[in-house]
Each structure stands twice: as C-alpha cells, then as structure tokens.
Structure 1
C-alpha cells in the first residue's frame, strides 16, 4: 500500500514545457511508490535519530525526507531555482528540515550553474565535466545545458561552523563532488558522493581528499538502488579497482564512506 509519505506531492510549475516535462520525469524516478521505505532502510545504519545531516544537492528532496523520517535534523542545499521552489512547497514547513538555496564548493562566493531544462537534476557547476561527459558516458549523450545562472556558494566548513558537524553528508552535484569535499577540513563520521562512469577521476579525487582527513572504508550503491553492493566495506585501493573493473558497466551510483573503527 502506498503511504502518504510515499506519494509525490503536487508539482509547482517550473516555466517552459521542457522544464515541466523534465521535472515530471524526475518525479517519476525519485518519488515513485515505495522508494521512501527503501531509502530509510539504506540510511538507517548511518543516520541515528537526532543526528544532523547535510544534503548537498537536494534536488527533489526524496533523500532529505528519508533523513528526516529517520529522526534526523537536515540542512538541505539546492541552488537551482525551480527545484528549490519544489523543495519549499514540499518540505518548507517540515520542522526538522532547513532549506538553503545555495551550492557548496571549495570556497565561498558565487559560481555559474549550467541548467538542463529537460534533465534538471543534472544541472552542474562542473563545466569541464559537462563538456566531456556525453562522449564518455552514453547516458549523458542526449543531455544539453541551455541556461546559465549565477548562484551563491558556501562550503562544508562554513556549514559546520554554523550548524555543527553532521553525522552524515550526502553529496550529489554532477561532477562537482571533489570541489565540495575540497571545502572540508575535518573528517566526518560518514558521507556519500556520486560517481559517474567516464569521470572516475572525480571519484578518485574524492577518495584522496577523504584519505587525507581520516581512515575510511567504502561501499557502493549502483544507480538508484537502495542496497549496498558489497557485504564487506572496502579500503580505498579496492574501491578504485572495483570502479575501474567490475563496476565499469555501472553508468552511475553513489560511493559511501564511513570512518574505520579503531581497534
């Protein structure tokens, strides 16, 4: 049975038929029935009740809602105006959620966001990534980024100074993940970042940055799945071997990192 929290809310207009169609397509993926239950199951071991979570690249807010459903306090950041309007309508009154219309990067300031009208959840600050990913990954060959807007940028360090250290941080920013982690100067208990085949160098940079902060172990969720791929968590070397080897056919997914427990 579909619960109320699993149903997609009413959609606010985004301007232009391609933008509306793009949001509707994304809603069909991220707000399909049953997805919330699977997300809460995935994150339960990483997000204890009462924890603080940063959702960097909140998009349509499905993971923000899952974190809040586990009893977490969530700071959700989304710089794209149409998606932020959706978040305001869907989650703006949620007592455990704070919404911020900002991107996250290596330094505070502003940056140019390239916006895809037909695929709004793949809008990006990573301009070199955007120019090359279509040739490297067939999933992106039909994607175009027609619009450019200036957006405010903060850092993970600045967010920690304001809100405290999160127990978990989700980073999904279409090729800009390493820039987000470059703005972090202390280890976090756990986090995730997206990987995309054709730009595994971004994942490598993320792993190197995390390794400079602490000793982490890694796991993978392929695509929009909601289960970890490996029964045992991997060290950094084994993760990179997997991304170049047995996971090379996976178009995209998320790498999860958690600090190793000292023995």
Structure 2
C-alpha cells in the first residue's frame, strides 16, 4: 500500500483561507485573488434564488482554521499538478482545498443550484471543470430526491431515504421533490479527463453505485459513511478490496484528521464502523492502493 505525503506552501498576503483579502500562491505558480472569491461568496449568499444554499455557504466558507485542517488532511493524498475528482461537490469547499494544493479538479454535482454556485465561484479558474451530473454505476439518467431546505442531503438513493426515515438525528429532514439528472460513471470520467490521484465521494447513500462504476484501483479515494447505513459502508469496502485497494482509515464527522496512525485492513475498519455509536452520525473512509 502507498500514500503520498505531499509538501505544499500557502502564502497569504492577509489572513488565511479564501475569505480573506490577498493572494494565495502555492503549487506550481498557481495564484487566486481571494477578494474576488470573497465577493462571489457574498453575492451567492445574497441571491434569493440561492437561499437554500445559504446554510452551506455559511458552514463551509469563512473559517480559516477549518481550511487549514482540510488542506493538511488532503495534502497526504494530493500534490500540485495532480488531477482530483470531487464527486458530490456541493458548494465547492473541498474544491477550494484541492486548488489550494495546486490540483486540477473535476467537480461532479447534480443539483442545479449547487452547480450554479460552483460556476460562480470558479468562473475565473480554468483548472476547475464543473460537471452537472450525478455519478453512479453507469452513464444515463437517475432520479434525484431533493431536500430543498437542506440540499446537502439530496440523494439518488431510495435506500438512503428509507434509512433516514425516523432515524435519530434525521428528524425533520424532508425530500420534497424529485428531478431527473444526467448520470456519469467514474470510468467514464477517467476516459474523458484522465486518471485521478484522488477521488472524494460524498453522495448521500449512493456511494456503492459510484464504486460499481469504477473498474480499477486508483492511488487514493475517500467515501462518506453514515451510521444509518453501515451495511452500505461494508459493501463499499468489499468493492474496494476487490479492485485492489489495500489500506483503509477513517475520519469522523468534520474532524479533518485520520483516526488511526497507520493504514488498517478493510475488515478492521468495517468492525470500527460497526462499533461506532449512532450519534457519531457520519464521516469518511480513506482508502489507498
């Protein structure tokens, strides 16, 4: 098994993160003017048509300490010049981290409002490609269940809806509409954009379908798990072992840090996930080949 501890430098003329004025320079000569990004975020927050995204924008932007922790986590897997797939990009905070590390990013997101936000945030960045689509087992069309009040948990998985129904911590979540969206596969994305060094998958219970659409091991990827669907996490682990992934670790919630000092077997991580209390809610499994 292998993973790469990338070195990187963030040089800020004022503050840290995208929400402070100044310039970020890193990677191979990459630079973004932060005040333009800040203005774009504020414009999105003030757009009444994008009001469902306001909570996400407030949660994921404007927190320099979180940005720093995120960069340190992903620097273990991403180097300047790498290609990264962000599957379930939502409003692009992880895209921001991958770009701060100097990577080229393909951001896959099916929700029209989120894609609108992504394109507004990265309109000046030719190293970010926004793909308006879900990701699944094969190319085609899927039905997306939309949570208008909390779009971050919109899902293409009917199993996820059943698991969330009545579950502690999910009270009040309502998926109030459905839309048909284009679906792509990881293999299809690789054929079009190249092989990524890292793939982040966060698709609310559709992770196993996404991995079904992958036919090879990659250097590293992560997938989200929830305590309401632990069997899904085990299916994902089984699939990844079959593909040739050999090392596994966990980051709980929004901690931005790996739980274990070394890489574990899939079985050990599955046992760890099974033992978590329901209140742990969610996190990400990191996998290397």
TM-score by length of 1: 0.92
2:189 to 152, 159, 166: 159
Which residue number in structure 1 is paired with residue 158 of structure 2?
127
- C-alpha spacing 1:14/1:155, structure 2 compared with 1 (3 Å): farther
Task: Report the secondary structure of 2:67's partner residue.
Answer: helix
Map 1:70-89 → 2, pairs under 5 A: 70-89=101-120
CA contact (8 A) 1:102 1:153 kept: yes
CA contact (8 A) 2:17 2:68 kept: no
Residues in 2 aligned to 1:25 and 1:169: alpha-carbon distance in whole angstroms: 25
1:10 to 32, 36, 42: 42
Shift of 1:131: 2.4
5+ residue gaps, structure 1, are none
Map 1:163-182 → 2, pairs under 5 A: 163-182=193-212
- C-alpha spacing 1:179/1:11, structure 2 compared with 1 (3 Å): farther
CA contact (8 A) 1:2 1:33 kept: no
2:264 to 234, 246, 252: 234
1:201 to 231, 238, 248: 231
Shift of 1:6: 3.5
Residues in 2 aligned to 1:99 and 1:232: alpha-carbon distance in whole angstroms: 34
Residues in 2 aligned to 1:198 and 1:80: alpha-carbon distance in whole angstroms: 23
Which residue number in structure 1 is paired with residue 3 of structure 2?
none
CA contact (8 A) 1:92 1:99 kept: no
RMSD of equivalent CA atoms: 1.6
Map 1:63-142 → 2, pairs under 5 A: 63-136=94-167, 138-142=168-172
CA contact (8 A) 2:17 2:63 kept: no
5+ residue gaps, structure 2, are 1-13, 21-37
Residues in 2 aligned to 1:14 and 1:154: alpha-carbon distance in whole angstroms: 30
Shift of 1:43: 0.4
Deviations 1:106-156 (A, max 9, x none): 0110111111111011100001211221333x2222110111111000100
The answer to whether residue 41 in structure 2 is matched with residue 41 in structure 1 is: no
Point out the more displaced range, 63-72 or 87-96: 87-96
Point out the more displaced range, 27-36 or 149-158: 27-36
CA contact (8 A) 2:70 2:256 kept: yes
Which residue number in structure 2 is paired with residue 57 of structure 1?
88
CA contact (8 A) 2:245 2:287 kept: no
Which residue number in structure 1 is paired with residue 241 of structure 2?
211
CA contact (8 A) 2:207 2:236 kept: yes
Shift of 1:247: 5.7
